[in-house]
Each structure stands twice: as C-alpha cells, then as structure tokens.
A = this chain, B = another copy of it.
C-alpha cells in the first residue's frame, strides 16, 4: 500500500521538477536531471546523512526509469496540467506524507534518536524540492509557502507517538495519512501559513 503511494509520490515530484526545469528553459536532459533530483534527491540526502548505504534508488532501477519517464512525459502533457491543478496538489500532498513516513521508518530501523527520526522524515519529504529550487537558481519555495514542512513534521511526530502507544504499523500509517492529508489540504484551501520573519538591515 505505502509502496503504491510512494510510486505515485515520486511520479508527482518528478513532474513538479520537470515543470520547474521548463520555467528555466532547460533542455530535455536538464528536465530529466531536475525530475530525478526532485523525486529521489530527498531520500538520497537522508541516506547520506544517516550513512544508510547502499542508497535506495541504486538498488531499484525501476524507480529511476519511472521518474525519468515522468519527467519526459511532462514535457508533452505540460499544456494540460494547469487543468489538473487540484489532482496535482493532491498527489503532491500524498507524496509529502509517504516520503515523511518512509524516511522516519529508515531512521527508526537504524536505531536513531526520536529527534533524528523526525528530521529524517522531514529531510525525505522536503529536500528534493529544495535541491530542485537550488538547481533552478531560486530561493526554495518550501521556506515561504503554506504549511508544508510543518505537515511533514506533524506526521512524523504523530507516527512516533502512535508507535510509542504500540498501535500497529498499518493503523498508524492510515491515521498519519488521513491526518496529514486533511491538514495539508486545509492549509491550501484556507491559505494557512507560518508567520514570516522579515529583516532588512545590513550590518554584518
């Protein structure tokens, strides 16, 4: 079940990467790289930080073919994607939660501290998008959009809490999914954002 959602997630992330590449007029190769990095970069950074070798996608070539195909397909269907905006946001939200849960699981399995478990979930959920934005030469949107990283953090904390209460993995996952999805969709719908910190003085 979580595998299916993971595959949907990396597909959605790859498409978001391809669109970002298109905004910078990149060539087909650039599109594929940005799609790959957006979809699989978060897990790669998590594995490098946790020392979890070999890194996931190196053992699962089909994941790589999937995100490359999704990136290329995006260049063909981009003109229709605006109409699918709501579907796309839904898939992206599902991806965020799937990434967070998978990332937490990796850190739990390696015996890391609960804090590191939550951070591993968040790193998996958001750093693909951060790499995408850095490679496209813009300030990462995750640092100033509606609740997104906060959803990842909430899901990871909830997951840890349910495991601590000895709720079964299946039930925990379902609860985290429902809760996380509700929170993210409400944030989009009502424009919930974290407070912004503006500081314009220069003296350093």
Contact = CB atoms under 8 A, between A and B. Distances in A.
A44 B48 CA distance: 10
A196 B30 CA distance: 9
Given A137-B138, A138-B137, A204-B16, A115 B27 contact: no
Interface stretch (A54-62, A97-105, A173-181): A54-62
A159 to B, nearest CB: 18
Contacts of A199: 19, 22-23, 78
A82 interface: yes
Contact of A193 (B27, B113, B197): B27
A135 B144 CA distance: 13
Given A16-B204, A115-B61, A139 B195 contact: no
B137 A137 contact: yes
B203 A82 contact: yes
A79 to B, nearest CB: 8
Interface of A: 16, 18-19, 21-31, 33-34, 44, 48-51, 53-55, 58-59, 61, 64-65, 75, 78, 82, 85, 88, 112-113, 115-116, 119, 130, 134-140, 142-144, 149-150, 193-204
Copy total for this chain: 3
Main secondary structure of the interface of A (DSSP, over half): helix
Given A58-B50, A61-B116, A139-B24, A85 B203 contact: yes
11 contacts: A16-B204, A19-B199, A23-B202, A25-B198, A26-B197, A49-B58, A58-B112, A58-B116, A82-B203, A88-B204, A134-B135
Contacts of A143: 21, 24, 26-27, 29-30, 33-34, 135
Contacts of A65: 115
The 4 closest A-B pairs by CB, nearest first: A22-B199, A30-B143, A51-B53, A27-B194
A119 B195 CA distance: 39
Contacts of A194: 27-29
